[in-house]
Structure 1
Amino acid sequence: MESNTPNYVYDNVTQLNDADASRKYLAKVFTWMFIALGVSAFTAFEFFSTPNLLALIISPTGFTALGYVAIFSPLAFSMVINFGFNRISYTGMVAIFIAYAVAIGITLSIFGLIYTGASIFTVFISASVVFGIMAIAGYTTHQDLSQFGSILRVVFFGAFAVMLINFFMHSAQIDYILSFVFVALMIGLTAYYMQMLKRIGAGIEYGTEESKKLVIIGAFVLYTTFINLFMMMLRIFGRRR
C-alpha cells in the first residue's frame, strides 16, 4: 500500500515553528553581524594607531593605490557574496565576509583622521539606537514592506551611482545632500531587511549548508546597512578635527 506521507530522512535538520525559526535565525545573523563589527573596529583602530599601516592607504598627496583598492573592494566583495551564493561553500562565505569586514575597517580608519574620537563614538551610539529602533519596527510590523523596500533599493542604487561619480568630482554640496538621502534610505531599508530576514528565517530547514550560508547573507545585509547608516550620519553630525 502506497503512503501519501513521504518518508524522508533529514540528517541534522531541525524543523521549528515559524516564530522560533525566525528568532533562532536572527540570533545567528546578529551574532555574525557583531563579529563583523568587532573585526572592523579592531582593523580601524590598528590602522589608525599604526603610522606604518596608515601610510599604506593614505599619503600626504592623497590615497595610495592600496587605499583606492581598500575603498572600492567592499563593492567587489558585495558582488561576490550576492552572486556566488550557489557556488561558494559556507566556509568560503565566512572567509569572504570577514575579509569584507577588514576592508570596511581599513576604510573606517581614515575617518579617525577627519573626525574627533568623541564625535565618532557619539554618532556610533546614535546610529546604533536608530538602527535598533527600525530593526524592531521591521520585525514587529504586520504591514508588508516588500513594495516599499523595492522602491528604496532602486533609489539606493541611483544615489550610489551619483556618489561614485561625485567621488571624482569632489562636490561638497552634492556629498552633503547625498548623506541625508542615504541616512533616510538606510533607516527605511533597516525595517525592510528585518522583515525580509524574519520571513527567510521562518522557512529555513536548519542543519543544511544552505541555511548556514543564509545566516551569513543576513549578517552581511544588516552589517552593510548599519555601516552605511553610521558613515552617513558621521558625515552630517561628526565634528571635524
Structure 2
Amino acid sequence: METKYASTTAVNARARQEASTIFLAKVFNWMAGGLALTGIVAWFTANSGLAMKIATSPAFIILILAELGMVFYLSARIEKIQAGTATGLFMAYAVMNGLTLSTIFLAYTRASIGGAFLTTAGMFGAMSVYGMVTKKDLSGMGSFMFMGLIGIIIASVVNIFLGSSTLYWAISGIGVIVFVGLTAYDVQKIKQIGEQGIMQQGGDVVQKGAIIGALALYLDFINLFLMLLRFFGGGRD
C-alpha cells in the first residue's frame, strides 16, 4: 500500500509540474507579445515624429492616467470580466504604453536604449529562472519588495518638488533591486497557481489567469528597464 501511495503521489506531483509548466508558458507568451507590441508602437511613434507631440502636450499625462486606470481595473475586475475583454485590455495597455515610451527616444540614444534593454532581458531572465527553481518561499520577500515599491512612488513624487539628483539616483538603484525581487516573486507565484490546478478550470479561467500573470511580469520588465536606462545615460544633446 505504501508503494502504491508513493507511486500515486509521484504521478500527481509530475502532473502538477507539467500543468504549471504549460501555464507558465502561456503567461510568458502573453507577456512577450505585450512587450513586442509595445516596442513596435514605440519605435514607429518615435520615427514618425509623433513622440514629440505626445511629450509636449496633455496627451502624455492623459495616457499615463489611462494606463494606471487600466491596470487597477484589470487587477480588481479580472474575475468578473470576460477573458476576451481582459485580453483586449491588456493589448490596449501595451499599445498605450508604447505611445508613452516612445518619448524615451527623445531623451536617450538608441545605443543606450538597446543596452538597457539587453541588460534588462538578462536580469529578468535570470530572476525568472530563480523564481521557477528555488524551493525557498518568496512571499516574505514579495511583501518587502512591495513596501519598497510604495516607498519609491512616494520618494519620486517628493523629488518632483525637490529636484535632488542624489535622491534620483537612490530611487533608481533601489528601483532596480525592487523590480528584480518582484520578478522572482511573481514568477514563483504564477508557478504555484499553475500547480494548484488552474489548467483544469476551463479555458476562460486559464486565459484570464494568464493575462493577469502576464501583466504582472510585463510591469516588472518595463519598470526594471526604465530604472536601468537611467544608469546607461547616453542622453541626447
Aligned residue among 209, 215, 228 for 1:214? 209
2:22 matched to 1:42? no
Q: CA deviation at 1:160?
A: 1.5
Paired positions, count: 221
Aligned residue among 38, 41, 60 for 1:67? 60
Q: Distance in 2 between matches of 1:165 and 1:66?
A: 23
* Runs of 5+ unmatched residues, structure 1: 1-15
Q: Is the 8 A contact 1:187 1:229 kept in 2?
A: yes
Q: How does 1:51-90 map to 2 (within 5 A)?
A: 51=49, 53-59=50-56, 64-90=57-83
TM-score normalized with structure 2 length: 0.88
Aligned residue among 25, 28, 35 for 2:23? 25
Moved more, 220-229 or 81-90: 81-90
Q: Is the 8 A contact 2:86 2:211 kept in 1?
A: yes
Q: CA deviation at 1:173?
A: 3.0
Aligned residue among 129, 152, 159 for 1:159? 152
Change (3 A) 1:115 1:196: same
Q: Is the 8 A contact 1:197 1:218 kept in 2?
A: yes
- What do you get for the CA RMSD once the two structures are aligned? 1.6
Q: Is the 8 A contact 1:57 1:68 kept in 2?
A: no
TM-score normalized with structure 1 length: 0.87
Q: Distance in 2 between matches of 1:168 and 1:110?
A: 22
**Alignment match, 2:103:** 110
Moved over 4 A (4+): none
Any idea what the Cα deviations from partners look like across 1:1-42, whole Å, max 9, x if unmatched?
Answer: xxxxxxxxxxxxxxx811001100010111101110111001
2:185 matched to 1:192? yes
Q: CA deviation at 1:58?
A: 2.1
2:227 matched to 1:232? yes
Q: Distance in 2 between matches of 1:57 and 1:169?
A: 25
Percent pairwise identity:
35
Moved more, 75-84 or 157-166: 157-166
**Alignment match, 2:11:** none
Change (3 A) 1:77 1:114: same
Q: CA deviation at 1:127?
A: 0.7
Question: What SS is found at the alignment partner of 1:17?
Answer: helix
Q: Is the 8 A contact 2:23 2:194 kept in 1?
A: yes
Q: Distance in 1 between matches of 2:93 and 2:154?
A: 20
Q: Distance in 2 between matches of 1:100 and 1:165?
A: 27
Q: Distance in 1 between matches of 2:100 and 2:165?
A: 19
Question: What SS is found at the alignment partner of 1:57?
Answer: helix
